[in-house]
Amino acid sequence: MSSSILKWICPPPETLEEPPEEDGKVEWFRCLPYVLIHLACIIAFYYPVTWPCICIAFVSYLARMFSITAFYHRYFSHRSFKTSRVVQFIGAFVACSSGQRGPLWWAAHHRRHHRHSDTDADVHSPHTKSLLWSHTLWFMTDYAVPTFLKEIPDWLKFPELRFINRFDWVPVLTLGLGCYFLGEATWFQTLTGLTGMTTLIWGFLIPTIVLYHATFAVNSIAHLFGTRRYNTKDESKNNLWLALFTLGEGWHNNHHFFPGAARQGFFKGEIDLTYYALRLMSLFRLVSDLRPVPAWVKDKASS
């Protein structure tokens, strides 16, 4: 076990060009932090819930969900807009603090998902595996450990991205400690009435768990429940409720038909908060060249 812990904290500098064969075996040791963070939330019942608790959880969730959807997904996986190297790193670091591994890992696995969606080669399809497997257990296998370098040659030139991809626990620990010590600051306690422990619970633990399941639901729920505008080769669905929880990722059938767009809500009424935020960022020149939805894509919609 000690060697496993050391390998986790300080993994090899390079990862795999090709994925290993997926054997359907859960690496239970890797589940331990995931299980512990869920169990740790029990301590929330020993503290009163106040409005500052809800507010800090909301901010923590929104900031990291936006970074996952905008940067991990639309930027690193699909190159749907452009940004500077500084903003690129900040987006990656904030998203990485969600405990969903590094930006290169995320993009590599996601690109494979699009290429093999809902086939036997798609390791997190609820149609070829169980719902629980597609939702979370695949994340705990040996297959899900490495970053497949062959999938992401466009990002390998950035050493800072490779660093946080290799040491993906650093942003997580930074956020957790930051929440605790913020809550210990006298001025923050006076302003909010929170303590180090309550800030840790509501600024880190609880929103991190919600982030896990909201993100994972795009793999599972969005391939089972919802409607389809496009006749794609997979079983992707559009789901309004999931779109609200994930800031726009629930328009999954739209996205699978044309993944290169910066927006996923292609039509009026399809709320896409991530895209609205990207538009706002573009006004301040933090991002640019948001790739639009072509007219022919909208014309192909069935309803």
pTM of the model: 0.91
Length of the chain: 303
What per-residue confidence (pLDDT) applies to 3?
55
pLDDT at 157: 94
Contact 144, 109 (CB under 8 A): yes
Instruction: Examine the pLDDT at 128 and tell me if it is beyond 60.
Output: yes
Mean pLDDT for 129-139 is: 82
Bridge partner residues of 116 (DSSP): none
Cα distance between residue 298 and residue 266, in whole Å: 7
pLDDT in tens, 12-34: 555 655 555 555 677 777 778 88
In the predicted model, is pLDDT for residue 57 greater than 90? yes
Write the Ramachandran bin of 101: left for phi over 0, alpha for psi from -120 to 50, otherwise beta.
left
> Is residue 281 pLDDT above 60, yes or no?
yes
Encoded tokens for 122: 């798609």
* Higher-confidence position of 128 and 276: 276
